[in-house]
Amino acid sequence: MPLRAILDNQELLAPLLSDEEWEELKRKKVQVILPCCEARGHLRTSKLGTKHFAHNKKDGCN
Ligand SMILES: [Zn+2]
């Protein structure tokens, strides 16, 4: 699961964001680019509560 992504031209590490920042990014529906393959992605929280990014397409690179 990618932890790093580009949001609004700014590189972010998901685990370093507070819950409030994370929720705000979700609410704003900011565009997420995954640097691994420059594909579009989105914010996701795992069952264990780990903030991370996910590829929009299921056949993402990882
Ligand atoms: Zn990728």
Is residue 41, in this structure, part of any structural domain at all? yes
Is residue 40, in this structure, part of any structural domain at all? yes
Res. 58 pLDDT band, cuts 50 70 90: confident
Task: Tell me how far the alpha carbon of residue 6 lies from the centroid of ligand 1, in angstroms.
Answer: 12
Is residue 60, in this structure, part of any structural domain at all? no
Residue 22 domain boundaries: 4-48
Is residue 26, in this structure, part of any structural domain at all? yes
Task: Tell me how far the alpha carbon of residue 54 lies from the centroid of ligand 1, in angstroms.
Answer: 8
Long-range contacts of 36-40 (CB under 8 A, 24+ apart): 36/2, 36/61, 36/62, 37/61
pTM: 0.87
* Domain count within the chain: 1
Is residue 29, in this structure, part of any structural domain at all? yes
Is residue 56, in this structure, part of any structural domain at all? no
Is residue 59, in this structure, part of any structural domain at all? no
Task: Tell me how far the alpha carbon of residue 23 lies from the centroid of ligand 1, in angstroms.
Answer: 23
> For 9-25, how does the pLDDT look when each residue is reduced to its tens digit (9 = 90+)?
999 999 999 999 999 99
Is residue 53, in this structure, part of any structural domain at all? no
Task: Tell me how far the alpha carbon of residue 58 lies from the centroid of ligand 1, in angstroms.
Answer: 10
Say whether pLDDT at 59 is over 80: no
